[in-house]
Amino acid sequence: MNPLLAISHISKKFAGNKRFAVHDFSIEVNKGEIIALLGESGCGKTTILRMISGFEAPDKGSIILAGQEVVGDHVFVAPNKRGVGIVFQDYALFPNKTVEQNIVFGLSNFDKQSRKQKLMDAIAVCGLDEFTQRYPHQLSGGQKQRVALARALAPQPKVMLFDEPFSNIDTLRKMQMREDIGKILRETQTTAIFVTHDTRDVLSLADRVAVLKEGVCQQIGTPSGVYRKPVNSYVARFFGKTNLFDALPVPGGFQTPMGLIHSKNHSQLSTSKVQLSIRPDDFELCSPDASGCFKAKVLNDQYMGSTRELTLNVCDCSDSNFEILLNVSQDVCIDDRVCFFRQRKDSEPGILDG
């Protein structure tokens, strides 16, 4: 199956900057996929979005959308000819137009009958039936987001682009909006790419994620794959707290400062030294007589709601502090020396490139 969107080796450097905003970025996106571009501010994710939409031209590389080359050598298709829908961070609604008029605005290229049908479909799928005659100032933030989404979806674009759709929104509204947008995109089988700096957006919405740093793509994969098997320490840390430490491949796993970490992947390595990433929730408390456990001292105990986050000192070594998440039902005290933990049997450590 050919990808709906194929981006090949695009790069962009803005005048006056020594560093590339985006350097040699490639990805293929299948129909119906939801892709996240994840990274810190200034990493190039919005520039990629703008090059897909046609608001920026790459210095080199190509973009093929639905079988048509829209960017390439001596090829540049105008934004309004690409069939791309965009939802901006600030919604970009017309304050003097009703919800219905805002949605219809994006349908000017269709005949009257098609406009009416597409308007009705967009209103229905985005749940806006009760708000069609309201103005933007009469809507909540979530309702404005749905209007912006309906306007972008109405022309049935080949791909939808979202620029930081959940930024500057309180936690409760953000959770609901993520759920609403995800449901709409899945129901309409819409191909979408969204920009975010929040890993929670990625974990709850994306089929795959591209992690960027200073214009360079670090890793592309499923959210769970990138979380569990990051390729380097930057990706590992960006996706949340983790334990990073040097290790040597040995029969049965990896030898670390705190002891043997069991793994089936150690035999695949040609190097003599690696760095491992093991998430706090890959460890669990166990009884002192459990096989493969490590003795530790509890340095800190932080209540996190559904879990407790412990900082443990392994074997009383000051350079061997590892964090572990455990259930709130487990009673652990600071300075407790009877705590033991072991790696979960079903978990594999992430092996980092550097």
Amino acid 59: pLDDT: 96
- Contact at 8 Å (CB) between 344 and 286? no
The 3-state DSSP class for residue 250 equals strand
> What's the 3-state SS for 261-287?
EECCCHHHCCCCCEEEEECHHHEEECC
Amino acid 320: pLDDT: 63
- Contact at 8 Å (CB) between 294 and 341? yes
Query: CA 7 to CA 255: how far, in whole Å?
Result: 41
Report DSSP state, residue 112. Answer: H
Which single residue is written with the structure tokens 């020594």? 18
Amino acid 267: pLDDT: 62
Amino acid 177: pLDDT: 84
User: β-strands 68-72, 243-250: how paired?
Assistant: unpaired
- Angle value at C-alpha 165, between 161 and 167, nearest 5 degrees: 145
Buried b / exposed e along 138-171 (16+ C-beta atoms within 10 A): ebeeebbbbbbbbbbbbbebbbbbbbbbbeebee
Amino acid 167: pLDDT: 78
**pLDDT tens by residue, the chain, 354 residues:** 789 999 999 999 999 999 999 999 999 999 999 999 999 999 999 999 999 999 999 999 999 999 999 999 999 999 999 999 999 888 889 999 999 999 999 898 899 999 999 999 999 999 999 999 999 999 988 889 889 999 999 999 999 999 988 876 777 778 888 888 899 999 999 999 999 999 999 999 999 999 999 999 999 999 999 999 999 999 999 998 888 888 888 888 888 887 788 887 766 666 678 899 988 888 888 888 777 778 888 888 888 888 888 888 886 555 666 677 666 567 788 888 767 776 666 677 888 875
Amino acid 310: pLDDT: 85
Q: Helix 141-153 to helix 112-125 angle, to the nearest 10 degrees?
A: 140
Max Cα-Cα span within the chain? 76
Kind plus residue range of the DSSP H or E element containing 176: helix 171-187
Predicted TM-score (pTM) of this structure: 0.89
Q: Which residues contact 93 (CB under 8 A, 6 or more apart)?
A: 102, 136, 144, 147, 148, 151
Amino acid 259: pLDDT: 79
Amino acid 318: pLDDT: 57
Amino acid 309: pLDDT: 86
> What is the DSSP code string of 58-98?
-SEEEEEETTEEEEETTEE--GGGS-EEEE-TT----TTS-
The two structure tokens encoding residue 286: 């166990």
Nearest to 117, CA basis, from 131, 135, 103: 103
CB burial class (10 A; 0-12, 13-18, 19+) of residue 134?
middle
> What is the DSSP code string of 189-225?
T--EEEEES-HHHHHHH-SEEEEEETTEEEEEE-HHH
Query: CA 271 to CA 246: how far, in whole Å?
Result: 12
Q: What are 85's strand-pairing partners?
A: 160
Q: What are 248's strand-pairing partners?
A: 255
Domain annotation for the chain: domains and CATH numbers? 5-233 (3.40.50.300), 241-352 (2.40.50.100)
- Contact at 8 Å (CB) between 205 and 181? yes
